[in-house]
Structure 1
């Protein structure tokens, strides 16, 4: 097939991947006046996942996209969140009002589908093409209109002034840009996630329960459902011997404090998602090459223990689009994008791995030491306890206008 003529009309920006990061990038580019098309290989935008935490840093970025208040309105207020032992005894907790007072915004949880819907609804009709597999052919050269990036789609090869690789942790786009990078590494953890449609009773506590090499989490949502999840050390690829992941959850967590066993027992077996956790433990040398930018899991896949995976992808989207100047080559913004995002996202990846190392402790003495440290931290004033999260939460996005 002949390569597209770079002088022919073509989408100015192409996004590969229609997850939260890709859709956020498309909306940020649209807000910036950049024509954009999203190619998602799945037949629909049905999200892989159940619930999603949105921290103050992500909510500020979503405000730039114009959908922050819509998502805040979908969140159920919780008086406190914290960490308990499997016995039910609190190790540490803090009021959510204290989070808002300290950072100027909330820490909320919503259904992942609600975030997808809010992003899609804000985009022009026809922006997102599902069932459309796209792959990078040539990253192009910035500053030269004769060398655009080239993307292969079901409609043939297309030229683009900018390509956003938001194609996930197994990103083919990343592999083409950085073929010598070692790629994702298994973290040692597997996870389960589900939404309980009709919980047996309202959960009396919101937050996580930490045991020996595993944890469970409980987050009620505004529509009455409860987002529940678990994470445990396990060999990569391991699955329940009988194929029943709900039964596996009960084997691992059945003796824990209420309402963990009840919630897992009420979960629809067909709705339990199990995924191994892989991360990009080795940072990429850059988040761009040529006319192509990487974002989200394609750039910095991380462990879920700080709830920042989607938050960082949303940050990426706003920073990328904010650097593009009207009537300028959009690829000219990419070096500044890498400079702004790579150090910050790498620090969050490292922080998430560090929290995971605490969850991974299994010997009685090390778990006891961890729990004592968490209890001591929980006795600190809110301003000192929350100050430890400032590097992540106290981030403010650039403007997309002006």
Structure 2
């Protein structure tokens, strides 16, 4: 008789919930420890590229998530005056990669993942404080006791406790040099014709359609870490972007003042490995990245599917975890580097450099841009 295998997952965000779903589909018993009092997400919009939709399909959730999202006809890059520098066609993305680009609310995706799990697997208000191996098992200590399992998965984000416990020599997250604002408008009287990312000098403002005639907006500015707008974040956005080309002023007018989220942007220096003993890191805990490629959650979903597959197919736990590390570390660290480079270019503020950047974007065919994304978007489980 085969003994049921068990996993404790530290962190109940998108990556942690996704790996819980993936392992349960393969017969594992899982428990998800989340320090917050409920499993939810306060974030704004989230882009799910074709690779993420394939991962969700492997979890049995692809159709449901696509029903919750919006497929935008197209997008691209504009300058701050609204002139197109580069354009993309979602139909061409779907033709090339078999899946469209879908935008969902983060909370909707988290809720979908939670609903795919039995309530007994979820442990809210549970803070993991220690992890240690005990023979052929691993023990996760928490503020109300301990849990014993075959594997512990650290999916607890940028400031991961699991990483600090198991990788004490790892370099800390590094500030990318700019902060970001995220927000969702109230329903608009007319839908957007297309989304865009507008590039300025040391500043960017992007927007994309969401279900219900709402629009997800994001902005960045090169500023020291830890700052805050003296008159509030909405006023700071109005000051910086209120005179940019339409529809940006109109979109800002439609954003509830209290709903603007601000987060400094960090990524994670490369780790020498994502596995230590019977502990594996996943998502931001392993490879936190800047949002410039829209791949943070997408890569976490890939991680979840690959980790479950490797553990299921390998002859033992150690081989399965080694398979996961081998298949995920190089790929995700490459995405981290690519996203950081794109963000650095997007934030250029020296006028000659920004002008050269905009000219290069205008001269680059959209087909070449999509071709360069093939290694990322073409991923299949």
Query: Do the aligned partners of 2:8 and 2:147 also contact (CA within 8 Å) in 1?
Result: no
> What is the DSSP-based 3-state SS (H/G/I as helix, E as strand, rest coil) of the residue aligned with 1:332?
helix
Alignment of 1:322-333 (within 5 A): 322-325=309-312, 329-333=316-320
Map Cα deviations across residues 123-166 of structure 1 (whole Å, 9 max, x no partner). 1232112111123321x27xxxx342111124312221100001
Query: Match of 1:252?
Result: 240
Map Cα deviations across residues 187-222 of structure 1 (whole Å, 9 max, x no partner). 111011111123364333312111111111111112
TM-score normalised by structure 1 residue count: 0.91
Q: Distance in 1 between matches of 2:312 and 2:347?
A: 46
> What is the DSSP-based 3-state SS (H/G/I as helix, E as strand, rest coil) of the residue aligned with 1:41?
coil
325-334 or 221-230, larger mean C-alpha shift? 325-334
Work out which of the residue numbers 231, 244, 256 in structure 2 matches 1:268: 256
Query: Match of 1:295?
Result: 282
Query: Match of 1:50?
Result: 44
> What is the DSSP-based 3-state SS (H/G/I as helix, E as strand, rest coil) of the residue aligned with 1:323?
helix
- Post-superposition shift, 1:110? 0.6
Q: Indicate whether 1:73 and 2:57 are aligned.
A: no
Alignment of 1:3-402 (within 5 A): 12-138=6-132, 140=133, 146-199=135-188, 201-242=190-231, 244-280=232-268, 282-325=269-312, 329-377=316-364, 380=365, 382-397=366-381
Q: Distance in 2 between matches of 1:321 and 1:50?
A: 28
Q: 1:391 to 1:43 in 2, by over 3 A?
A: same
- Post-superposition shift, 1:260? 0.9
Q: Distance in 2 between matches of 1:286 and 1:77?
A: 36
Map Cα deviations across residues 330-356 of structure 1 (whole Å, 9 max, x no partner). 343111111110000000000000101
Q: 1:371 to 1:326 in 2, by over 3 A?
A: closer
The number of equivalent residue pairs is: 379
Q: 1:115 to 1:299 in 2, by over 3 A?
A: same
Map Cα deviations across residues 235-277 of structure 1 (whole Å, 9 max, x no partner). 00010113x1001001110110111112122211211110001
Q: 1:331 to 1:204 in 2, by over 3 A?
A: same
Q: 1:10 to 1:237 in 2, by over 3 A?
A: farther
Where do 4+ consecutive residues of structure 1 move more than 4 Å?
326-329
Q: Distance in 1 between matches of 2:212 and 2:251?
A: 16
Query: Do the aligned partners of 2:185 and 2:251 also contact (CA within 8 Å) in 1?
Result: yes
Q: 1:10 to 1:318 in 2, by over 3 A?
A: closer
Query: Do the aligned partners of 1:162 and 1:331 also contact (CA within 8 Å) in 2?
Result: no
Q: 1:331 to 1:135 in 2, by over 3 A?
A: farther
Give the structure with the larger helix fraction.
2
Q: 1:67 to 1:221 in 2, by over 3 A?
A: same
Task: Structure 1: state its 5+ residue gaps.
Answer: 1-8, 398-402
TM-score normalised by structure 2 residue count: 0.96
Query: Match of 1:6?
Result: none
> What is the DSSP-based 3-state SS (H/G/I as helix, E as strand, rest coil) of the residue aligned with 1:276?
strand
Q: Distance in 2 between matches of 1:27 and 1:263?
A: 37
Q: 1:136 to 1:331 in 2, by over 3 A?
A: farther
Q: Distance in 2 between matches of 1:185 and 1:48?
A: 23
